[in-house]
Amino acid sequence: MDIMHADSDITFNNRIEHFLIRWGYRRGEHRVAPGLYAIGNPGRDSPVFVTANYRLSFDALRAALKGIDGYVLVLDTFGINVWCAAGKGTFGTEELIRRIEATGLAGVVSHKKLILPQLGAPGVRAPEVTKRTGFRIEYGPVRADDLPAYLKTGKATPGMRRVRFPLWDRIVLIPVELVGFALPAIVLAIVAFLGPGWLAALGLVTAVLGGTVLFPALLPYLPTKDYSTKGLLLGILLSLPYAVYQLATGLPGDWKTYASTLMFLLAMPPVTAYLALNFTGATPFPSRTGVRKEIYTYIPVIAGMAALGALMAVVLTAVKILEMI
C-alpha cells in the first residue's frame, strides 16, 4: 500500500474546517483516509504513531510532530475521535491489526513498536496485537502536545499521564451540543408558549441552556459523581427562580399556582440532566461500565419526572383552553 504524506502545518483552511466541525457542520464527513502517513522524512528507524481518522485527532497529532520525522498509522474509526472510538470498539484490536497488515508496516520500519494515545487503551488488547503482528504497543501521553518531550526521554511523566479537562476543553464542546438540540428546543419552546405560557417556554430554554452551556462550564464544581445527578441538581437550581416567581405571582390557595410550581420543579431538572448525561460520551472521565450503570439507574428517574412535569403542563393547558371557551 502507498505511503501518503502529510505535513505539520495547520493552514487557514484547516482552521476553518475545525471551526465547522465544532459547530457540527457535516460533522461525520470530516474524515482522513485511513492508512500510513509520512510526517517529515522518516526512515526505517522512525517512530510510528497511531491515531483515529477524525480530522481534529489527526491534525492535533501532526501539528504536535512539527520537526519530527515519523509515521502516522490512521485507523478507520468512521470519523470518531480516539476516546469515543475506543469506547465503541472502532479504535480497537481488530482494526489496528487489520491496518498494520494492510499497510505492510512490518516492511516499512525495522523496529516493532507502535505509540498509541493513552486514551485509546480501553479499546485495544495489547498482548493480542503483539501476538498476531509482532508489534509491541507503547502508550504515549494523554495530550499530543507532550509527544516531543516524551520522545526525548522515552517516558511519560505523571503530568503527561494525567487526564485534564480544563475550562477551554469543556467550552469547545458547547457549540455542537447547542446546534444538535437547537431545533427540538425551539419546537418545544413554541409548544410550551402556546400551552402553559411564556414563562414555561422561557423555563424550557433555560433548562436546555443549562444542560448544554452551563453544565460543561461548571462540571468540576457540581457535587456528586454521576453526570445525571449533577445535571439534576443544576436543573433544580435553575428551576427554583421559576417556582418562586410562580408562587409569588399566583393566587394564594389556587391549585393552578401549585400545579405550575410543580411543573417547573418536575420538568426542568430532567431536561438539564438528560443533556448533561449526553456529555459522558464527550469527556474522558466516565468509563463504559459507569455510563451504562448510570443510564440504567437514572434514566427511569429522569423519564418519570419529565412525564409528571409534562402531565402538569397538559392539565394547565387544558384548563387554559376551557377558560377561553
Cell numbers representing residue 129 in the block: 496485537
pTM, to two decimals: 0.81
Q: What is the pLDDT of residue 283?
A: 62
Distances (CA, A) of 17 to 31, 241, 306: 11, 40, 38
50, 120 contact by CB (below 8 A): yes
Q: What is the pLDDT of residue 288?
A: 63
pLDDT tens string for the chain (325 positions)?
589 999 999 999 999 999 999 898 887 788 999 999 999 999 999 999 999 999 999 999 999 999 999 999 999 999 999 988 888 889 999 999 999 999 999 999 999 999 999 999 989 999 999 999 999 999 999 999 999 999 999 888 999 998 888 888 889 989 988 998 999 999 999 999 999 999 999 999 999 999 999 999 999 899 988 889 999 999 999 999 999 999 999 888 888 999 999 999 999 999 999 999 888 766 656 666 667 778 888 899 999 999 999 999 999 999 888 888 7
CATH number of 4-164: 3.40.50.11600
With H, G, I as helix, E, B as strand and everything else as coil, classify residue 76.
Answer: coil
Neighbours of 93 (CB within 10 A): 16
Phi, psi of 80 (to 5 degrees): -105, 145
Domain boundaries, the chain: 4-164, 168-324
Cβ neighbours of residue 164 closer than 8 Å, sequence gap 6 or more: 142, 143
Helix, strand and coil percent figures for the chain, each rounded to 5: 65, 10, 25
As to burial, measured by CB atoms within 10 angstroms (0-12 exposed, 13-18 middle, 19+ buried), residue 187 is exposed
Q: What is the pLDDT of residue 27?
A: 77
Q: What is the pLDDT of residue 253?
A: 81
As to burial, measured by CB atoms within 10 angstroms (0-12 exposed, 13-18 middle, 19+ buried), residue 291 is middle
